[in-house]
Amino acid sequence: MIELETPIQRFIARIGLHEAMKSRRQFTDYLFKILLGVVMIIIVSPFFLVLFQVAGVGFWQVFGTGPGQGLEFFTTFPGSGLQGGIRNAFVGTVELITIASVVGIPLSVLGAVYISEYTRPGIGREVIEFTSDVLAGIPSIVFGAFGFAFLVDFLHFGMGLLAGSLTLAFMMIPTIMRTTQEALRQVPMSLREASLALGATKWSTTWSVTLRAAFPGVITGVLLAVGRVMGETAPLIFTAGNSLSVPVELTGSGSWVASMPYTIWAYVSDPSAILQDKAQGTALALMMMVLAIDLIANIISRKVTRRLV
């Protein structure tokens, strides 16, 4: 005799199958979380490994109290045998990045605003965007060769502060322009329409509404560009030269300028143990400068976003 399955038995069987499927989904989800955690560790580990390596040797150069360490590391010039500090490289890097930012950031942002807000989609916009993407991927040494051929030789600027800064500015433009364009595209069209409906002009809407709403994205692009050019060495070898003092003019023989990346390269290439330590200290100082710029930019971005909201 065949026994028929009762409703209670069918219910129990369904519950068992449901629990098995649920356990399988939970196990799969757990494995995926583990995979994401491993990937995240792989992504962030190089930063901490580099920081550990640099700080392990260069910490006492930046924060020590011995001769040429601590504050003297940033305020003294290289002395006999380059035993002094890195004032020339520190000041030179600040000057190079400042001039490059003054030139590159406004051009990039205004160019992105014009393309995104004042031009219609078409071949012209596509050509500009494609060109920006190509420029963003060009190796830095190519920019250095261009800066030497165009700025140093053709325009007769000579190697120095102006040629090096403009070369870095050219490197910043494609990155900031493309990230600014993407940030502007994320701004809802309703914000623009509401501003125009209230009687605001196109420029007022762009400046007071669109750019402010896209400001966090713009800041991200600026940080990426500044962080990239702050660590470049090859373009400056071709255009800025090197000096054990600070530049006293924009062009000419007194405009040769040192930079922290170039100093790191020069010190690491030297077999002297003292200069090897100073190279690690210079690298740590450069990382701290990038971190400081990131923190300041994030604070400004948050304040602007809060005012907008």
DSSP E strands in the chain: the ranges are none
Residues in CB range of 217: below 8 A, 6 or more apart: 179, 180, 182, 183, 184, 186
Residues in CB range of 249: below 8 A, 6 or more apart: 160, 161, 255
Mean pLDDT of the chain: 83
* Token digits of residue 31: 């494995």
Helix (H), strand (E) at residue 277? helix 273-308
Q: Is 233 exposed, middle or buried (0-12, 13-18, 19+ CB in 10 A)?
A: middle
Distance CA 128, CA 274 (A): 49
Is 0.95 surpassed by the pTM of this model? Answer: no
pLDDT in tens, 31-79: 888 888 889 999 888 888 888 888 888 888 888 877 777 888 888 888 7
Q: Quick one: pLDDT at residue 80? A: 65
CATH topology of domain 71-308: MetI-like fold (1.10.3720)
- Weakest-pLDDT range from 16-20, 143-147, 229-233: 16-20
Rg (CA), the chain: 27
304 and 215 Cβ atoms separated by less than 8 Å? yes
The residue ranking higher by pLDDT, 1 or 146, is 146
First to last CA, the chain: 76
Question: Residue 102 pLDDT > 90, yes or no?
Answer: yes
Distance CA 11, CA 15 (A): 6
Distance CA 150, CA 144 (A): 10
Q: Where are the domains of the chain?
A: 1-57, 71-308
Comparing C-alpha atoms, which of 65, 95, 70 is closest to residue 85? 70
Q: Residue for token digits 């219609």?
A: 120
Comparing C-alpha atoms, which of 231, 277, 255 is closest to residue 59? 277
For the chain, how long is the longest CA-to-CA vector? 109
Q: Quick one: pLDDT at residue 209? A: 84
